[in-house]
Amino acid sequence: MNETLSRLADAGVVAVLRGVEADQLIGITEALREGGVTAVEITADTPDVAGKLGEVTGSFGDEVVVGTGTVLDSETARTTLMAGAEFVVSPSLHEDVIETCNRYGAVTAPGVMTPTEAIRGYEAGADFVKVFPAKTVGPAHLAAMKGPLGQIPMMPTGGVGPGNAAEYIDAGAFAVGAGGSLVDYDAAARGDYDEITETAREFTRVVEGARADD
């Protein structure tokens, strides 16, 4: 398994940071790391995403695996990779993004909903697929796709929280992605990073517990 993909699998939870403020970025990432979440995805629609990717990679080094999300075209993929992104995630399937990431040896995942999309993305060179939005189909849908497509690592994102993360792991997810259910920006604005750490710990406990039960 690719080293970056292995680190994502080890992390179990990928924090999705969308529109994160510059003065909260390091505090949030540190709070997540303290809670056991060591994978962070900064979405490409975040202002100055390249600068923020560089700041996180420069501050945390190998302690946190950092990628970018909401990547819709090859130009954005290349820009964020040059800024330090180690993996690239899209909400939909874009073969030019996959091709660019393959060219630079970076891990990439398209967003998919159906088995046809999943196999198409995987055949195009994706390392894993993002089942999105997971909340509209639930764990049973992921389990049904994993049946015939067990060779494809899948990460559900969108509507995944501590209350249902275990169900997705039981369904066959190698990791889960989480945004608002994991990162409370209001708490960050108040300087209450401990709240984010506690949520991260809860997420981590749930995922580790589900894996231990398998």
Would you name the residues annotated as active-site residues? 41, 130
Strands of 107-109's sheet in order across: 107-109, 87-89, 65-69, 39-43, 13-17, 176-178
Alpha helices by DSSP H, 124-192: 138-146, 165-171, 185-190
Q: At 71, which amino acid appears?
A: V
CA–CA–CA angle 89, 92, 98 (5° rounding): 55
Q: Indicate the DSSP class of residue 83.
A: T
13 exposure class (CB count in 10 Å sphere: 0-12, 13-18, 19+): buried
Q: Determine contact, residues 108/89, Cβ cutoff 8 Å.
A: yes
In this structure, the number of other CB atoms found within 10 A of the CB of residue 41 comes to 27
